[in-house]
Structure 1
Amino acid sequence: MNDHDDIEKQREEDGEILLDLTQPLPAPPKKRHPVLWLTLFVLLGAAGFAGYVGYMFLTVPPQTPGSERIVLIPSGASGRKIAEILATESVIRDKTLFMLLARFYRSGKTMKAGEYQFTTAMLPTDVLTMLQDGKVYARFITIPEGYTARQMADVLAEHQLDKAAFLAFVFDKQNAARFNIAADTLEGYLFPSTYHITRETTAEALAQMMVEEFWKVMTPDLRQEIAQQGMTVHEIVTLASIVEEEARLPEERELIAAVYRNRLRIGMKLDSDPTVIYGIPNFNGNLTRTDLQTDTPYNTYMRKGLPPGPIASPGKASILAAIRPANVKYLYFVAKNDGSHQFSTNYQDHLRAVQQYQRNRKKAAAN
């Protein structure tokens, strides 16, 4: 051992730390990164909060209990605009989340314009499904049997449809030709029924629906049956409209139709009050002797045969009654004041029935 080794040994014994340059240096201690951990914690927290918000959006409706909302989605509205409308009406909780949902839910389906009936208790997936399927809110409008076009127009006006536009469409001769109607107007061919309409349905569109419904009822087989009787569809519809106005009991339709068919066959005037009334502008509800003696195209007390056209829209039962009247020889009938009629085959019996029921009417009025 030389002097250098003795010195090194002595230094080791004295506790000095010697650096061995012949060995690799030890790695420095790893430093911790608190910013990284904080960032990760924030991200996890944000993800958890976003998940919670999304879960609440999808599973909790805006309001419970809910209330009805009739919402109009305009044609051409963007997804953002639709979401804004729904949020304003409290149908959805968050418009941004709804737009995101619309992008991925039932991919390929688009939201459709129209009027919808929502509630504020609906979940967003249900709202979106309705919009994608186009399940628009259907209003119902009922046109009673025996209504004239002008009476129908009043019903339409109650449902915010254009009364003037409806009447203009009905009384346009070109529209009658367009629908293969051998008449100057659509009067009588606007089939009475209950129709589904939306907020975007126009009066003209409804009139077209009604005519199309008429032609569904007036089948090719019925048209052939009418032709075989030597009559036209227009004549049958005109006769059916009179039956509709005269009949109060369903079981009397075929009997009343038989009376008029019998009169037509022998060239006898129809003497129908409803036809006279139809020909009186602004009828006040009181039919007078003067009215019966005033000549108009619809006064069947003054003129033989059918009037120029229908006086109302008959239902299917009256149309069938006009085509297939009862096999009876009646030529007269008079109201019995209870909705029914007394039918007679000759004038003498008819006069006795008229006197009887007039007396009964006077007695009832006196009491």
Structure 2
Amino acid sequence: MIMAKNRSRKEQWWAKMKERQNDAKLIRKIVLISLAIIFLVGGVTIAGGYYYIKGALEPVEAKSEKEVTVDIPIGSGVTAIGNILEKSGIIHNATIFKYYVKFNNESNFQAGTYDLKPSMTLDEIITSLKTGKVFNEAVFKLTIREGITLEEIAETFEKKTPYSADEFLAKVNDEEFIKQLMGTYPNILTDEIFAENIRYPLEGYLYPATYPFYEEEPPLEEMIKTMLDKTEEVVTEFEGLMTEKKMTVHYLLTMSSLIEEEATESTSRKKVSSVFYNRLAKGMRLQTDPTVLYGMGKHKDRLFEKDYMFDSPYNTYQIDGLPPGPIANPSKTSIEASLKPYDTNYEYFLAAENDEGVTEIHFSETLDQHEELRSELILNN
């Protein structure tokens, strides 16, 4: 009787073991099948992406002999050129063209009228665009001076274009338009332009240069995009340094605008840049006068003690760190200075006119040196 009971228990144990083994086999099959499906879907997605990009890099019509006349205006950046080529049916995709150009470090595209074929490769198109000639005379040219503010750009538009200052400011403050621009220029326009206390989202982002236009009344939106194209082109040159320094475009343009407003010569800009970084590293306030004036929204030849107390999120005598955004539209020289400051121990600088009436910037390592220098300059003047 006891042996029969033991045999029965043993058989039950084996039965349970077999059941568990069968369950384990079933689970393994389900897992393997699931993994196979995941890899298959992933593989299809990757393969699809690969063939899509591969197709976009190939000629639009490999055997076509037809020619398409394409106009590339002066000042066109890679984004604008890509859009023109895509609309003309010369390339498949403007975005892939832009990244292909950047990946191959191509630049120096020339404005001109080109007879291009849909059968051309991207390399053939790029070669053609680097040998073009200016195709016509501009109807008018718009010069945006280095270091001016968005409000001053608005005044320039009123004087030189069909648009009033109010029309320009309304457009650059149009949230819907700006969000469209963010989609077109994701590498330079980020959510930082809508940070708290920002006065104008596009302040600092409209590159100072001379822009030719080829019709009497070009759309205001296109004029703004032309300036953003140039900003993107200039900033892209410094992508490597920005990545190395973990610096966003917004931070870069904000710092560059301060340097632009405080210095003139390339050498002094890099010294001014070093002062700002040295002060930030030590937790000191930047205390730069142009931020006071920008916060006040007015120009003054001289600031008084009460001015430095002006309550503004831009006033670096009252806030720590950088202001919330750029205070002007900086040049390439200032952008480079903000990324490549001189290695100095300077923590102070002072601008003063010399005997020839030329403004010079004097640098000091300590507050005592700075105050002594200030006293000397006041006495000499």
TM-score, normalised via structure 2 length: 0.57
The question of 1:345 aligning with 2:338 is answered no
Gaps of 5+ in 1: 1-132, 362-367
The question of 1:143 aligning with 2:144 is answered yes
| C-alpha distance in 1 between matches for 2:343 and 2:138 | 48
Larger radius of gyration: 1
Cα RMSD (Å): 2.0
Pairing of 1:60-209 with structure 2 (within 5 A):
135=136, 137-162=138-163, 163-174=165-176, 175=178, 177-178=182-183, 179-180=185-186, 181-182=189-190, 183-184=193-194, 185-197=201-213, 198-209=215-226
Residue 307 of structure 1 is matched in structure 2 by: 323
TM-score, normalised via structure 1 length: 0.59
Question: What are the Cα deviations for residues 91-127 of structure 1, in whole angstroms up to 9, with x where unaligned?
Answer: xxxxxxxxxxxxxxxxxxxxxxxxxxxxxxxxxxxxx
1:242 is matched by which residue type in structure 2?
L
Residue 121 of structure 1 is matched in structure 2 by: none
1:286 Cα deviation from its structure 2 partner? 4.4
Alignment equivalent of 1:240, drawn from 256, 281, 285? 256
2:370 is matched by which residue type in structure 1?
H
Alignment equivalent of 1:334, drawn from 323, 327, 350? 350
Determine helix, strand or coil for the equivalent of 2:238: helix
1:288 Cα deviation from its structure 2 partner? 2.5
Question: What are the Cα deviations for residues 107-164 of structure 1, in whole angstroms up to 9, with x where unaligned?
Answer: xxxxxxxxxxxxxxxxxxxxxxxxxx99464311111100111101111111133122
Determine helix, strand or coil for the equivalent of 2:296: coil
Aligned 8 A contact 1:335 1:357 in 2: no
1:284 Cα deviation from its structure 2 partner? 5.0
Alignment equivalent of 2:280, drawn from 221, 242, 264? 264
| C-alpha distance in 2 between matches for 1:134 and 1:260 | 45
Identity of aligned residues (%): 34
Aligned 8 A contact 1:153 1:167 in 2: yes
Determine helix, strand or coil for the equivalent of 1:304: coil
Aligned 8 A contact 1:333 1:350 in 2: yes
1:285 Cα deviation from its structure 2 partner? 4.7
| C-alpha distance in 2 between matches for 1:349 and 1:134 | 57
Aligned 8 A contact 1:269 1:300 in 2: yes
Gaps of 5+ in 2: 1-133, 195-200
Determine helix, strand or coil for the equivalent of 2:359: coil
Aligned 8 A contact 1:166 1:207 in 2: no
Distance 1:303 1:200, change over 3 A: same
1:281 Cα deviation from its structure 2 partner? 2.9
Determine helix, strand or coil for the equivalent of 1:343: strand
